[in-house]
Chains A and B, each alone.
Chain A
């Protein structure tokens, strides 16, 4: 059971970091972007998103700062750190290898 949540957690981290790869964003923006990109398949519960963000921040993969949004509201913007960027690349690499392997197995004839 633990394994499953760990995989999911690892995936969540990767998704969040990926979402932040282009530009800093606030929490809601991250959730929306992931939902948008996944064509509404992946809907991040806020109960998962914020603890995840704090954990990533604690691990020094992202950092946060308060900024004013285009709608003139105060929001906490998250951005990737160098460490986070490196971690994302490694995770993506890993993910592609593993998913390719899994696909190979699933698609194998005999």
Chain B
């Protein structure tokens, strides 16, 4: 009550400051008048009475000040005054202010953007009802560590323990699916879950209902629950969505509800799940997880969570699961004999859900990675701070006189430090605002990229708090030391202008070392840019090995229009015939997926000369009759696919010359055999050998040269063709339009998933290295900007400290060139050392990349790594750019020194 009253009184004081001030004046005036009247009554004249009253009264301003202090608003008023003063100063020095705010903005923005990603992935936890009663259950691998996969049968057994768990649910990792909306096929993320999913989590759907046990049976009509975010984002929160049928992977799926608003997905790493479907929908929508309900050997990437019954402890649950683990090991001894990546071991792990973020095995590396990334961007901020501190020191040196005057006039040092700190805080807050805008803008730009998944990174209170706290810390960090230093002046000396002794500028100071590091990092980043530019240019120059001009492709999926398999086949053939009939088309072929996209797999070669029965990693490409002709890939031996190769005829393959030479000992390997490692009955005969081509390793880089490759015909893959590939003697772009017309003529409802020319596809496949090169270039540019600001600050500082010395020198007849060169020598040394170190590491990096060979395992899979050549011209260019920027940064303050009039410099004002 009392506290509230005080707060209110202060608040009204602060808010109604002007009224309060005029009230005070009026009150004091009234008092003065009454006093005067009283004195007049004692017989004094009016004038005498007024003077006496004033004398008695004391200083009006002092009383006002005391009254303000009594109100408790004195500190606030001082703060407002200092802020106004600081703002005026900063606006006057707009050049410095702009530079400082931009630098801070970039550094804080980078930190905020990275933090918001880390926040989305790691910190924003989902909340469930009674979350401390939830446990995660994992099957262990051989070494007893929890695995990311679990057998569905084991999950069913776990769910039987109803005396321990009041409910047990399973949900798959997010899967990419495609669905049809507004005539276009879109990417989405689907999770396959059990019917009691929401019950176990203790949540309620926000609209409609979750699927029930009858819909969780195989063969039941497909139903889906829409994620809340997907509902608002994709369907504009339209409540009539419930009951609507959409086509997913071509199949009709009924939307029966919308998920809880606070549920993003089971895998809580900021990926939003768009659809939840019953686990039993997996075989129909996604084939590889087909045999879910079979023996415990069939492992699926499922997460299992259970809710403990009231009174049951985690230890009891562990004991029960240990019993189950032993029973499973006894019942299915074969299941535990597997080897390889997902070798099932005996044992089950039970962990309280609140102790796990993503997965017990992944949490530590995740956190480590996040910390490293945050540390690196933090380092950028630290460098920006250090440079700004130097700049402020320069300003402080220039303001030494002002500071001394104010100290002499009776300002306390505390007031001055506060004043200077408020200035730096104003700068850092402005920088923080710019940073937030930059971060927001950057994230918007990131989210416009159409990825198959979507990290939900909107700015929440945590990100904002992070940015604000960061700004405040930054302001104090770079402002405090210069402020204290600036106010620690010897009054007499400075006023007489003798305070600034010339310093030994050749000493290796921390600041100089920082500049060297900044220059070196910028050079290294420029080197990285050059490597990626080189890589892009090199892949462009590669012999593609297949026709590009005049080739176009059109991908669709017949299931989206509800075609049965046989109807689709008829329609496909119809479409192919129509496209072949387009004037100018020389050749056309059907294909599954997009051309030159490979899948990695292990095969076993039946070889007389190679290592018999050895396993080798291979890349498989999809093709079909007419494929090699359409892409003009030359056939060396044997034949290519034709109508003889059907689903029921023996499996055949066309292989590349490299594969033939490497594993069959001769280019003419027609008639030799190999099989898939995973399937002992998949012996495949080689029917033809073609020339090597550039091939896509992943979906994207179509050009990267990869190792041995074989082609399989879609007719034998058991799947339907989706794409028509055609080559015209005319313009490929107009061919696309014609192909789309033919598609509409066959069926107007069929969506075109991909319609582009081969040239476009090649161009797109190069976006990844181009993006990396751009990113490096941006980072390098940022590094150079930071480094040049650092250089500027150091030189400006040196000039300010030495202006007396310079003045004396110039008074004694030194010419301006001599002065500049004496300053420039120090700067040149810094730049040279930094550039040298940077170039050294760049060359080292290139050598390591060359030695590392053509590919490297980088955790996400096999990625081809470019072997850069060491280009002296490029290195020279980098050095030249760095030197130029550095010299330009140093030139501005150095020139100022030469402009000093000797007399003025000597007086140093």
Interface residues of A (CB under 8 A from B): 26-28, 31-32, 45-47, 50-52, 54-55, 57-60, 73-76
Query: Is there an interface contact between A51 and B30, defined as CB atoms closer than 8 Å?
Result: no
- When distances are taken between beta carbons in the complex, the residues of chain A under 8 Å from B9 are 57-58, 60
Within 8 Å by CB of B26, from A31, A54, A55, A74, lies A74
* Cβ-based interface call for B34 (8 A): yes
B339 contacts A by Cβ under 8 Å: no
Question: How extensive is the interface on chain B, given as a class?
Answer: 20 to 34
Residues of chain B lying within 8 A (CB to CB) of residue A45: 56, 58
B6 is an interface residue with CB less than 8 A from chain A: yes
Q: Does B857 contact A (CB under 8 A)?
A: no
Task: List 15 contacting pairs A-B, 8 Å CB cutoff, sorted by A.
Answer: A26-B30, A27-B30, A28-B35, A46-B31, A46-B56, A47-B59, A50-B63, A52-B70, A54-B67, A54-B70, A55-B71, A58-B70, A60-B2, A76-B26, A76-B27
Residue of chain A at shortest CB distance from B10: A58
A74–B26 CA distance with the chains assembled, in angstroms: 9
A50 to B34, CA, bound (A): 15
- Residues of A near B27 (CB, < 8 A) are 26-27, 50, 75-76
| 1/0 contact string of B441-456 vs chain A (CB within 8 Å) | 0000000000000000
Contact of A54 among B2, B59, B71 (CB under 8 A): B71
- Closest B residue to A81 by beta carbon equals B5
Contact indicator B70/A46 (Cβ below 8 Å): no
The residue among B9, B27, B58 with the most chain A CB atoms within 10 A of its own CB is B27
Taking a contact as CB atoms under 8 Å apart, the answer to whether B23 and A46 are in contact is no
Give the complex CA separation of A76 and B34 in angstroms: 13
Answer yes or no: B62 CB below 8 A from chain A CBs. yes
Measured CB to CB, the closest approach of chain A to B51, in angstroms, equals 15
CB of A51 within 8 A of CB of B66, answer: yes
Do B58 and A47 touch across chains, with their CB atoms under 8 A apart? Answer: yes
CB distance from B36 to the nearest CB of A (A): 11
Write out the residue numbers on chain A whose beta carbons fall within 8 Å of the beta carbon of B24: 50
Residue numbers in B under 8 Å from A28 (CB-CB)? 30-31, 34-35
Residue of A at shortest CB range from B13?
Answer: A58
**Contact residues in A for B2 (Cβ distance below 8 Å):** 60
Given contacts A32-B38, A74-B26, 9 further A-B contacts (CB under 8 A): A47-B63, A50-B63, A50-B70, A52-B70, A54-B70, A55-B71, A58-B72, A60-B9, A75-B27
What is the bound-complex CA distance between A54 and B63, given in angstroms? 12
The closest CB in chain B to the CB of A75 belongs to B30
Contact digits for B49-79, partner A, Cβ 8 Å, 1 yes 0 no: 0000000111100110011011110000000
Decide if B69 touches A51 in the complex (CB within 8 Å): yes
Per-residue A-contact encoding for B1-17, CB less than 8 Å = 1, 0 else: 01001100110000000
CB neighbours (8 Å) of A52 from chain B are 70
| Residue with the highest number of chain A CB atoms closer than 10 Å, among B5, B6, B24, B57 | B5
Indicate whether B28 reaches chain A with its CB closer than 8 angstroms. yes
The chain A residue with its CB closest to the CB of B66 is A51
- Give B54 Cβ to nearest chain A Cβ, in Å: 11
B525 to chain A, nearest CB (A): 59
Given A51-B66, A76-B23, verify A46-B71 contact (CB < 8 Å): no
Q: Could you tell me the distance in whole angstroms from the C-beta of B3 to the nearest C-beta in chain A?
A: 10
Q: How far is the CA of A15 from the CA of B810 in the complex (A)?
A: 72
A46 touching B57, Cβ below 8 Å: yes
Closest 7 CB pairs of A and B: A51-B70, A54-B70, A51-B66, A28-B34, A55-B70, A60-B5, A28-B31
A105 to chain B, nearest CB (A): 34
* Complex-state Cα separation, A50 to B67, whole angstroms: 6
Q: How far is the CA of A57 from the CA of B8 in the complex (A)?
A: 12
On whether the beta carbons of B58 and A46 are closer than 8 Å, the reply is yes
Q: Are B63 and A51 in contact (CB under 8 A)?
A: yes
Q: With the chains together, A59 CA to B38 CA distance in Å?
A: 31
Bound CA span A60–B4, Å:
10
User: Given the complex of chains A and B, what is the CA–CA distance between A24 and B26 in angstroms?
Assistant: 18
In angstroms, Cα B59 to Cα A51, docked, is 13
- B30 near A73 with CB under 8 A, answer yes
In the assembled complex, the Cα of A75 lies from the Cα of B69 at a distance in Å of 22
| A54 to B69 alpha-carbon distance, docked (Å) | 9
Provide the residues of chain B in CB contact with A55, threshold 8 Å.
70-71
Q: A46 with B28: in contact, given A51-B67, A58-B72 (CB under 8 Å)?
A: yes
* Contact between chains at A50 and B28 (CB < 8 Å): yes
B58, B63, B71: the one contacting A58 at CB < 8 Å is: B71
- State in angstroms the CA–CA spacing of A51 and B24 once bound together: 11
Interface residues of B in 209-248 (CB under 8 A from A): none
Question: A57 CB to closest chain B CB, in angstroms?
Answer: 7
CA distance A57 to B72 in the complex (A): 11
User: Which residues of the other chain, A, contact B58 by a CB distance below 8 angstroms?
Assistant: 45-47
Chain B neighbourhood of A26, CB < 8 A = 27, 30
Question: For B38, what are the chain A residues with a Cβ–Cβ distance below 8 Å?
Answer: 32
- Cβ distance B24 to chain A, nearest Cβ, rounded Å: 8
The distance from the CB of A76 to the nearest CB of chain B, in whole angstroms, is: 5
A51-B70, A54-B70, A58-B70 in contact; A46/B30 too (CB < 8 A)?
Answer: no
Across the interface, name the chain A residue whose C-beta is closest to B24. A50
Least CB distance, B6 to chain A, in whole angstroms: 6
Residues of B within 8 Å of A73, CB to CB, are 30
Query: How far, in angstroms, from A4 to B244 measured CA to CA in the complex?
Result: 84
